[in-house]
Every structure is written in structure tokens, then in C-alpha cells.
Structure 1
Amino acid sequence: MTAPRRSNPLRQLRASDLRGVARLATQATAGASHVAEGVHQSVLGTLGLPGGAEPGSTRGLTGLVYRSIRGVTGLVDAGLQAGLSRLEPFFTQPPEAGASAPVLWEREAVLAALNGVLGDRLARDDNPLRTSMGFYQQGRPLDLPALAASGTATGKLLVLVHGLCMNDLQWRHQGHDHGEHLARALGYTPVYLRYNTGLHTSTNGATLSAQLDALVAAWPVPVGELAVLAHSMGGLVARSACQHAATQSAPASRWLPLLRHLVCLGTPHHGAPLERAGHCVDVLLGRSPYSRPFARLAQLRSAGITDLRHGHVVDGDWLGRHRFRKSPDQRIPVPLPEGVACYAVAAALAAQRSPAAERLVGDGLVPLHSALGVHDDPQRTLQFARHRQAVFYRLGHLGLLGDARVARQLVQWLGSV
């Protein structure tokens, strides 16, 4: 796959993007009014004046003004959505016969980041900017008839699952793509997953399991071996898919019995400090009546991000619990899938092992112990065999995608019987 061509990002906009941006703008306006009203009421509360019917709301003429702002904003949103929907066909050019749509690298990167931060909201609002799960090759949706006609599909299927705020195109890092490398070295046919990383990991895991069943059933040749290579959050999604497939009722999973290898690159199996720091911000903002309204801003982050606080894998880890309320780690212990060779790759920015490097610094985003599945509670420790663990020093989280040492380790592991 050739390197991305840089172009004017404005030229990459699609007609549907206007509707998506318009909806985000009107929602931001409504959200800002809630914050302003909350601050207003906090000030009134210190003067002993009563508030509205709900916490953070005002009453009387002041409350009427804020409600009117949100009402008008809702009407504006409805009008923009209706009007822009009618105009879209006039701005969308049909593709030429036999031509495929160009890969818009910058646009896809922006959408991936946006879905990582707000993906659950985009999906809930049916925003045109939301990402739907699907399999891709070279940045385009997987075309199984074309793959069958080319005769290039093999019985060794490799599925690559990206991490938070990323997409399938970003497996290429510093000119290297692990999928292409394993295709040349071991004869795999790589297929790249693209998904909305703002959704709960368990939601994505269940969808991935269903899509893998469909992929295996429709693959041009019989699949003799399946391998999954996952980076960062992708490892949690892959483990969730395995758990869903193993526990689902009839019909039995097609793909799980074919899974031979599961490799996790820098996966926060037991959470990431960055999200735990974000949770502390929630708590601190909520302590003062003056800062409490601004907690709305901190709580815009997606379900996918909050799942990284402890490393959620199944629905039971979050169902019935407030995402932004302080609570201990109450995850349901989920072991590695049985009968599958599971591997853990961790990176450390430090030059050698040390307590600080392992627990605090790690690869810059994920601590070493979390990436290796090690936990202070033995029941939560993931049992990666010693010879299926690898640690690479002087390497960051994204560096795992392009490092030659990691590439050699993957060939050694996946090439073994």
C-alpha cells in the first residue's frame, strides 16, 4: 500500500459531514447553556435563593430564558438536518464506472479521533459522522467478490484490530504495516477492522464476534487458521469477542474454533492511568458548587474511554453502574480464551526494568504490568505463558506498530506450530 498523499483537508469533506458538524454545533450550544445555568444557580444558591425543579437549574424568568435557548437550538437543529438532507444529493457526485472512492486519510483520522472521544453520543444521535464496524483492505471496505476473483485469498486469515481514536489505515506506522509483513513472511491474508472506539468495549466485542462469523462463512476459500492481532483497546475488544463467542447460545460460533493466535500489543488489560486521572477530575469538579457545572464538560468523554479505567471486557463490568461515579474495580474476571495461543507485547519508555517504569511510566499510556496482564490480585492476573510475553524497552505506545523488533517477534510466534 502506498504512503498517504497529503491534500487540502477541506476538499475531503463530504456532504453528510455538514449535517454531522451542524448537529454537534447545536448540541454544544445546548450543553453550554446547561453549564451557564448551573453556574448561575450555584451563585444564587450561595445567596440562599431556591433553584428550579432539577439540580443545577434556575426558576422564574431566568429559567425560562435558558429553556428558550435550548428550545430554539433544538428547532434550529431540526431545520438544519432537514434542509441539509435535501441538499446532499446535489453535492454528492456519483463515482465513475469502475472507479473506487479515494482514500481520504486526513478525514478518516479526524473521524476516528472524534468517534473515540464522542462515539457513543454520535451513535445514539445517529450522527452522520459516526463510524460503523466493518472490515477493510487498503482503506476501502472489504470486497469479497473481488478478492475471490483475484485468487489472492488464502486459508490463513489475519484480522487486525486497532486501538482508541484510531482506524485501520493507522496500522501503517513509519512505513511499516504488521499485516503486510505477516502476509509476506507467513502467507496470511490480512483484513483490517474499523470500528467506533467510543462505544463500550463489550458492545464492540459482541458485534465483532457476529461479523467474524459472517466473514468466515463468506471467505472465498475454507479458513484453516485464524489469527487476531490487536493494538491497545483492540485487545480488550478481541478478548470480549472471544468471551461472547464462548458463552453465546446456539448457533455455535464459527470463528472461535478456528482461532489459533491472539496477540495483544500494548493492551491495557487492567486499565490505563490516563482515564483514572480523568475520573479524578470528575470527582474534584464535583466537590464545589461553583465547579460542579463544569463536570459536564469532563463527562463528555465516551463509554469506550471510561471502559479503559479498569479494562472492561464484558457487559457486567459496566451495566447498572454510573460511569462517572467513584467506585472500586468491580470487573468480572475473564480469563484468556481456552485452546488459543495468547501473546502479550509490552513496551517501556525506560531503558531497563524498574518499579517506576513498570507501574507508572510504561509505554507512555499503558503500564507494563497492565500490558502483561499482571495484577496484584492473583485471580485477576491473565495467564500469558512466559514464552508468550515480550517487553521492548525505549519504545512508546504507538512505536509498537512500526518497530522491527516487534515485527520479528510476531513472525516467530505466529510461525510456530
Structure 2
Amino acid sequence: MFDAAGGVVGVVAGTHRAIAGAGPLSGFVYACVNAGLTIGGAVADLAITSTGIGRHYRPLQSTVTGRRLGAALNGAVGDRLTGRYAALATPMRLRDNGVDVPVAALRAHHPDASSHVVVLVHGLVENEEWWQAGDGVDFGRGLAEDLGVSVLRVRYNSGRRVADNGRELAVLLADVADNWPVPIERLSLIGHSMGGLVARAAVHHASADGLAWAAVLGDVVCLGTPHQGSDVERAAEAVGRALGLFRESAPLATLFTLRSSGIKDLRHGHAFEPAPSGRQLFVAATLAVDPASWPGRLFGDLLVRPNSAADPTQPADRRTLGGLSHTALLRHPRVYAEIRRWLSTPWQ
């Protein structure tokens, strides 16, 4: 919090200098404020460490709100947390019922393991609990009950580069395949938004590196994934560039450069080719009831347009559902019906 406050002071000081040509006095004032924040942060850190007061409070990850804040923080600046704030950076791992699941413990957590494994990959500023939050269908529980599959949920730092998360997911799935209680005969990846890009990046790395699980990959399902990029990220980039053109607003442009590498990756999306053995299902959504109407085509779900989510340049089956928001793709019964129908059909 002290570091964030220092960053705000820096932006204010830069804007002041650009607009009013701040003199030595104002420069001295800003320097004093920054020094005060630096000292305050050091004192707070020392007090928390030396008194042990922090031990009287639950860690950030112990509450739903804390975990959501952590996921949002990782999505916003997660690529920079791994250095100074490593404790806040989310490592990629498996989660089950609110706890971490080490790969070595998969047998204990899945005593009735199926040979068909479904992996849920969340999107930007989300975590695995987003698949279960609020009203609607819990896709993981529904698929386990209706199709008898085993479901794994992945949590990762969505502020990192998509390619880096994809590479790490590919390695994690290789470890899962090695430690799964029974031989995996079919692996299905379901990704929401950025999660679809991460899933497809994992497939790309698994194919390139010859990982064994690529041979049993049956399905890649992408829900509202910006394969051709997101207009929201493009707009943020354009605003940042426009602010940088003028001396008075240039300091404000730094606010737009602070977004994470993961967010910036959404500007253009990715066109990873699917593995030879895998099928793809792209599900797009629009707020408009009629997806074919001009509002539906233009605005989509407000974050991703149907043309990007359905990506006609890629080999895939496509569904465009009207009257749904971007987050509704995580839990809506109509989306679940499409996924269940898709996964209930043979893949070979």
C-alpha cells in the first residue's frame, strides 16, 4: 500500500511539472512526501515483523474475499509480484475444495479416478472458485455426476505471459499423467477467457516437446476466449498512446503501461494450432438476445466480440449464445448443456 501510494505521488508530481512547470519548492514538497512514504513503509514492515502482530490475523488466502483480491492483484500486476512481493504471487497448482492438491497426492484425492480427465482453467483476474461462485451450474460437479469424468481445477498467476503459463501448464499436466491412478485415455481442457489461450498454449508446448499427454488430448473447449484479441485491451493501449502524445498528459500514460503482461497479451490474442488428436469447441456470447443482430456482433459480451471468440480462421466447432455476459459463460445452464453434449460424444 505504501508503494502504491508512492506511485500515485509520482504521477501527480509529474503531471504538476508538465502542466504548471513546478519549481524547487514543489519539488521539495513531493520529495518529502515520498520520503515520508518510504519511511512509513519501512516502519510498518518492521513493526509487523518484530511484534508478530501479523500472526493474529488470517492470511489473505483464508477467505473468499481475500482469495478474490489476490486473484485480481495477480491479474493486474502478477508479472511483477514474483520479485519483491513473491508471497502474493500465485504459483500454478491444482486445487480441490479450497485446498492445494500436490501431484503426488492425486491418488488420495481421486480414489475413484476416471480415465477421462477434465481440466478447468480460469481466466484473467479469476481463480478456480469462479467456476463455482454465485447462482448457476457448477460445471465440474455437473460433468462428474453426468458423465462420470474426473475434474481437476487449476489456479495460476493470470498476470504472467500467456505463453509462460501455457508452458507451465503443459509440464503440470505431464506430471498429472504420470501420477494419475489409472491410465488417462481422454484429456479435455476447458478454459474461460484467457484460460482458453493458456490451454491452447499448453497444447502447443506439449506437441512441440513431445509430451505424452498430447496423444490422449480429446478436447479443447474455449469459452469467450479472445483468440483474435480483445477490443478492451486495444482501447487501453490506444488511450495510453494518446495520453503520451501530450506533455501535460504524458505522466498519466504511465498508468496504462502498468497493466500486466498477461493483460497486454490479450491485445492480439493467439492463433496456436491444435494438436492433431484434439478437437476444439469455441463458445461465444453476446448480451444481445439475437447474436446475429448488429449490437450482438459489435459489442459481444462487452469484453470479447463473437468474431474473436469464435475465430473463423481456426479449425473448431462454434456456438454463439445470445443474452449472456462474459462471466455467465462460467456457470450458465445453456453453456453447460453445450459442453456436456460435446464431451459425451466420442473423440476418436
TM-score by length of 1: 0.75
CA distance in 1, matches of 2:126, 2:140: 16
Tell me what 1:113 maps to: 72
Q: Retained in 1: the 8 A contact 2:136–2:332? A: no
Amino acid at match of 1:266: G
- Say what the alpha-carbon RMSD is for the aligned residues: 2.7
Tell me what 2:305 maps to: 367
SS in 2 for 1:39: helix
Q: Retained in 1: the 8 A contact 2:226–2:304? A: yes
> Does residue 202 of the first structure (1) align with residue 163 of the second (2)?
yes
Q: Retained in 1: the 8 A contact 2:106–2:180? A: no
> Does residue 277 of the first structure (1) align with residue 250 of the second (2)?
no
CA distance in 2, matches of 1:194, 1:307: 19
Amino acid at match of 2:182: V
SS in 1 for 2:187: strand
Structural mapping, 1:250-269, within 5 Å: 252-269=210-227
User: Displacement, 1:86?
Assistant: 4.6
User: Displacement, 1:90?
Assistant: 6.8
Tell me what 2:2 maps to: 26
User: Displacement, 1:255?
Assistant: 2.2
Question: Which structure is higher in helix share?
Answer: 2
Amino acid at match of 1:206: R
SS in 1 for 2:196: helix
Gaps of 5+ in 2: none
User: Displacement, 1:372?
Assistant: 0.5
Tell me what 1:36 maps to: 12
SS in 2 for 1:309: coil
Amino acid at match of 1:187: G
User: Displacement, 1:39?
Assistant: 2.1
CA distance in 1, matches of 2:50, 2:220: 46
Cα displacement string for residues 100-142 of structure 1 (whole angstroms, at most 9, x for unaligned residues): x996222211211222122222223234322221110122112
Structural mapping, 1:75-94, within 5 Å: 75-88=39-52, 91=55
Q: Retained in 2: the 8 A contact 1:119–1:198? A: yes
CA distance in 2, matches of 1:404, 1:244: 32
Tell me what 2:328 maps to: 399
Q: Retained in 2: the 8 A contact 1:165–1:197? A: yes
Amino acid at match of 2:73: L
Structural mapping, 1:15-414, within 5 Å: 25-43=1-19, 66-67=30-31, 69-70=33-34, 73-88=37-52, 91=55, 104-142=63-101, 147-149=106-108, 151-172=111-132, 173-248=134-209, 252-311=210-269, 313=270, 333-354=271-292, 356-374=294-312, 381-384=313-316, 388-414=317-343
Seen in structure 2, the aligned counterparts of structure 1 residues 237 and 87 have a Cα distance that, compared at 3 Å, is: farther
Seen in structure 2, the aligned counterparts of structure 1 residues 90 and 348 have a Cα distance that, compared at 3 Å, is: closer
User: Displacement, 1:33?
Assistant: 3.0
Cα displacement string for residues 265-311 of structure 1 (whole angstroms, at most 9, x for unaligned residues): 11110111111111121022112211111112232222111111111
SS in 1 for 2:277: coil
Seen in structure 2, the aligned counterparts of structure 1 residues 61 and 139 have a Cα distance that, compared at 3 Å, is: same
Percent of residue pairs bearing the same amino acid type = 35
Q: Retained in 2: the 8 A contact 1:217–1:254? A: no
CA distance in 1, matches of 2:234, 2:151: 34
SS in 1 for 2:94: strand
Q: Retained in 1: the 8 A contact 2:78–2:157? A: yes
SS in 1 for 2:145: helix
Amino acid at match of 1:272: S
Aligned positions, number: 343
Seen in structure 2, the aligned counterparts of structure 1 residues 131 and 88 have a Cα distance that, compared at 3 Å, is: farther
Seen in structure 2, the aligned counterparts of structure 1 residues 93 and 79 have a Cα distance that, compared at 3 Å, is: closer
Seen in structure 2, the aligned counterparts of structure 1 residues 261 and 192 have a Cα distance that, compared at 3 Å, is: same
CA distance in 1, matches of 2:175, 2:114: 17
CA distance in 2, matches of 1:283, 1:110: 29
Q: Retained in 1: the 8 A contact 2:291–2:320? A: no
Q: Retained in 1: the 8 A contact 2:122–2:128? A: yes
SS in 2 for 1:158: strand
Cα displacement string for residues 127-185 of structure 1 (whole angstroms, at most 9, x for unaligned residues): 43222211101221125566524622222211100111111011014142111111111
Q: Retained in 2: the 8 A contact 1:134–1:194? A: yes
CA distance in 2, matches of 1:30, 1:354: 48
CA distance in 2, matches of 1:247, 1:85: 46
CA distance in 2, matches of 1:102, 1:28: 21
TM-score by length of 2: 0.88
CA distance in 2, matches of 1:87, 1:155: 52
CA distance in 2, matches of 1:131, 1:87: 27
User: Displacement, 1:223?
Assistant: 1.8
